Amino acid sequence: MARLNKYEVHPERGFLPALDPLDRLPENFAPWEAMAHDLPKFLVTGKARTFFKALPLLDATTLGDDREGKRAMVILSFLGHAYVWGEQETVSSIPACLAVPWYQIARLLGRPPVLSYASYALDNWRRLDPKRPIELGNIALLQNFLGGQDEEWFVMVHVAIEAKAGPALAAVVAAQQAVVDDQPEVVASQLLAIAGTLEAMHEILLRMPERCDPYVYFRRVRPYIHGWANHPSLSAGVIYEGVEDYGGRAQSFRGETGAQSSIIPALDAALGIAHAEDMLRRYLKEMRDYMPPKHRAFIETVEAGPSVRDYVLRHRDAHPRLRDAYNAAVDGIELFRSTHLEYARNYIVKQSQGGKRNPTDVGTGGTPFVPYLKKHRSETGQHRIR
C-alpha cells in the first residue's frame, strides 16, 4: 500500500514540495542567480549566448540539500533552454559551464538534464503572502523566460491545480485500503472525494484564458519549452559539452509538457484506466522518466495495489453507490482531458504555423499531441461502468 510521505506526496499540497521552494542559492552560486535574475533582459538582446558563455564552471555536487538541488535545477534548466532557443538560430550544443553542472544536478535528482514539468512548475513558485494558501492570486513564478502576464499565468494555473490535487491523492490511498478492508461505503466516499477534487481542479483549468492569450502563449511562451527529441530543428539532439558520460554524443530529451505531471497518471492508476498498447502508451511510460523518482514510484505502487475498479465491478449490484461514485471520478478525468484538448487546439493548432522551431503539429514533448489527447479522452470514457 502507498503511504503519502514515503513518496513525497502531501495530503494537502499533492505533488508540490512540503516546504515552499527555495528562492535563492548560497553565495558561491551567485553567478547562476545573477544570470537567472536577468534572463528576460538577456533574451531581449538577441545575443543571450554571449552572456551565458561567460559563466564560470561551478561544481553542482557541492549543493547542500534537496531544496538547493531543486533550485539549481530550475535555474540551469531555464538557462539551458534559453541557450538553445534564445536566439534567431537554434544551436545543437550547450557549453560546459551550463552542461556539466546541469548534468551533475540532474543525476542527483534522478531526472534528465532538460527542462521538465517539475522544474517549470512544481519547484518554481512562491507565495506572495506566506500565510495564505497556494492559490491563484497569491502565487508567482520564481523564474521566467521573457516574463509577462501570459507566461506567469500559464504556469501558475498549473501550480494551483497541483496544490488542489492533494485530497484526491490522499483519497486514492484511503480507497485502496478500504478495498483491502472490504468497506464498500468507504470506497464510495473516497471515490466521491476524488471526483470532487477533480471538479475543483477543472474549475482552475477553466481560468486559463483569463490572462493567458493563445497568440501570446504560442509566440512568447511555448518556443522556450521545446525539448530535443523528435524536434524538426534538432533532429540529431543536443551535445552537452564536457559531460564525460555522454562521450560527445548528442542527447535527445523531451521538452516540458503537462504529461509529466503525476496527477492524472496517479488517478488513472487508481481507477484502473488503461490505455491500449501502442505508441501513446509507450510515450506515457516514458514521461515518467521526467518525473521526480518518488512521484514515479507512487504511481507504480498505486498500479500494483488493490484494484479499486475490480472491487467496484464485483460489488456494484449490492452497492449501486459504488458504481455511481466510480463513474463520477472517471467523468471528472474525462472532462479535465476534454478541456485540455480544447486548449491544445486553441493555443497551438489554430495558431499560424510557427516554423521548424515552433511547429503546430508536434507538442513540446515531441509527439503528435492532438491524436494522443483525443485517444486519452476516448479511452477514459470507455472505463465507465454500466
Span 19-30, pLDDT tens digits: 999 999 999 999
Helix, strand, or coil (residue 17): coil
Q: Which amino acid is at 53?
A: K
Percentage of the chain lying above the pLDDT 70 cut = 98
Residue showing cell 502563449: 217
Question: According to the model, what pLDDT value does residue 203 have?
Answer: 98
- Write the DSSP string, 312-336: HHHHTTT-HHHHHHHHHHHHHHHHH
Q: What is the pTM of this model?
A: 0.96
Q: Class assignment of domain 4-381?
A: mainly alpha
Grade residue 1 by pLDDT with cuts at 50, 70 and 90: low
Question: Strand 93-94 relative to strand 125-127: parallel, antiparallel, unpaired?
Answer: unpaired
**Do 75 and 143 meet the contact criterion of CB atoms below 8 Å apart?**
yes
| pLDDT 10s digits, 183-217 | 999 999 999 999 999 999 999 999 999 999 999 99
Grid cell listed for 199: 471538479
Q: Which residue has the cell 484538448?
A: 341
